[in-house]
């Protein structure tokens, strides 16, 4: 296994626990157990995203005065686009956006990391995360959906209804884009996690205070942090925006609560546009199996997208 290339001081893997479902074949995650109770997380991922993660873990987070997960190494597979990334396991509890103290912890963490990143000169080393990035995702998803509406022979009436609704919602989002660009103009450009979801965050209890541990940085970029501020559903971290704003205020970034709320409303839409893009990536022509998966995903996201658009209208008013 790839871990053997990183072994040192006689550390030996004595047991392996799979942490992801077996149906997730291409990018599984495992917990490796050592003879003295040591644990390390091993994640198989694409090389492009893993290189971004390694830079964040090795060069960025160590310069932020907050607790973090220790990076243990990266091993590229000799053939293909995948590699293995290794992190220390964390004795911690799951994050819950339903808990106010968790959300406050996330707001502080996000503000501190963003403020620190201003001095790291990352903009030329990370993918851009301007509003235009999400607009291109929106347009790309719409093109795919329309193409399948016209040419996918596996589609039935119920599928077509879901696709038409998704296209209509995306077209509505397009009509607001100039306002979205203007609203996001007030935010300083900074490090963006890009998948700031509850599944990618843990809370470690400790003295003198609990700590937020954030991982899965493969979608990180540089630009508007709206997607990390999203407040829409229980999958998102939904950081406390007042706590977040107070951190920016201490750094002499004088944004009003209303401005932050409006950017977060844009972030709700950014997050769902990326989810729809992911859902459409499953599609293959004349394949019922792949069509069913996309339809299920779109059925879940369509009411959230409608809600995000309503919140956005209020935020842009």
d(CA 62, CA 315): 36
CB 283 within 8 A of CB 294: yes
pLDDT of 109 over the 80 cut: yes
Mean pLDDT over the full length of the chain? 92
Query: What average pLDDT score do residues 180-195 get?
Result: 96
d(CA 136, CA 138): 5
Could you state, in order of their start, the residue ranges of all structural domains in the chain? 1-89, 90-317
* Residues paired with 73 in a beta bridge: 86
Query: What average pLDDT score do residues 16-45 get?
Result: 86
d(CA 52, CA 218): 6
User: Three-state DSSP class for 87?
Assistant: strand
Each residue's pLDDT tens digit, 30-39: 988 888 888 8
pLDDT of 21 over the 90 cut: no
d(CA 70, CA 66): 12
Q: What pLDDT shows up at residue 207?
A: 60
Q: What pLDDT shows up at residue 317?
A: 79
Q: What pLDDT shows up at residue 5?
A: 64
Which of these, 315, 246, 234, lies nearest to 271 by C-alpha position?
234
User: Three-state DSSP class for 63?
Assistant: helix
Each residue's pLDDT tens digit, 122-142: 999 999 999 999 999 999 999
Q: How many CB atoms lie within 10 A of CB 30?
A: 20
Q: What pLDDT shows up at residue 232?
A: 86
Q: What pLDDT shows up at residue 3?
A: 66
More confident residue, 205 or 154: 154
Each residue's pLDDT tens digit, 227-281: 999 998 889 999 999 999 999 999 989 899 999 999 999 999 999 999 999 999 9
Q: What pLDDT shows up at residue 150?
A: 94
What is the band of 81 on the pLDDT scale with cuts at 50, 70, 90? very high
The reply to whether CATH 3.40.50.1000 applies to domain 90-317 is no
1-89: CATH architecture = 2-Layer Sandwich (3.30)
pLDDT of 7 over the 60 cut: no
Q: What pLDDT shows up at residue 156?
A: 94
Q: What pLDDT shows up at residue 25?
A: 75
Q: What is the pTM of this model?
A: 0.93
């Amino acid at each position: 296994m790839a871990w053997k290339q990183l072994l040192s001081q006689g550390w030996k893997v004595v047991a392996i626990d799979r942490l992801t479902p077996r149906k997730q074949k291409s990018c599984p995650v495992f917990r490796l157990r050592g003879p003295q109770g040591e644990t390390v997380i091993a994640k198989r991922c694409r090389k492009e995203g893993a290189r971004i993660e390694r830079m964040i873990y090795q060069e960025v987070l160590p310069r932020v005065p907050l607790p973090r997960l220790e990076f243990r190494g990266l091993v590229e597979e000799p053939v293909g686009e995948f590699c293995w990334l290794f992190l220390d396991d964390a004795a911690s509890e799951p994050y819950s956006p339903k808990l106010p103290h968790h959300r406050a912890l996330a707001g502080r963490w996000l503000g501190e990391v963003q403020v620190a990143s201003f001095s790291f000169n990352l903009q030329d080393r990370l993918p851009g995360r301007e509003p235009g990035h999400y607009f291109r995702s929106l347009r790309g998803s719409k093109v795919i959906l329309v193409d399948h509406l016209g040419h996918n022979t596996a589609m039935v009436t119920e599928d077509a209804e879901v696709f038409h609704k998704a296209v209509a919602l995306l077209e509505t989002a397009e009509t607001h884009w100039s306002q979205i660009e203007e609203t996001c103009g007030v935010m300083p450009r900074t490090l963006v996690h890009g998948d700031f979801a509850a599944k990618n965050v843990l809370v470690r209890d400790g003295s003198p205070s609990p700590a937020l541990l954030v991982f899965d940085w493969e979608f990180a970029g540089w630009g508007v942090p709206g997607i990390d501020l999203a407040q829409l559903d229980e999958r998102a971290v939904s950081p406390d925006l007042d706590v977040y704003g107070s951190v920016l205020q201490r750094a002499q970034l004088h944004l009003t609560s209303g401005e932050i709320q409006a950017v977060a409303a844009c972030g709700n839409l950014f997050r769902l546009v990326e989810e729809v893009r992911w859902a459409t990536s499953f599609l293959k022509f004349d394949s019922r199996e792949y069509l069913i998966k996309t339809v299920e995903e779109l059925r879940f996201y369509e009411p959230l997208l409608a809600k995000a658009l309503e919140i956005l209208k209020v935020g842009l008013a």
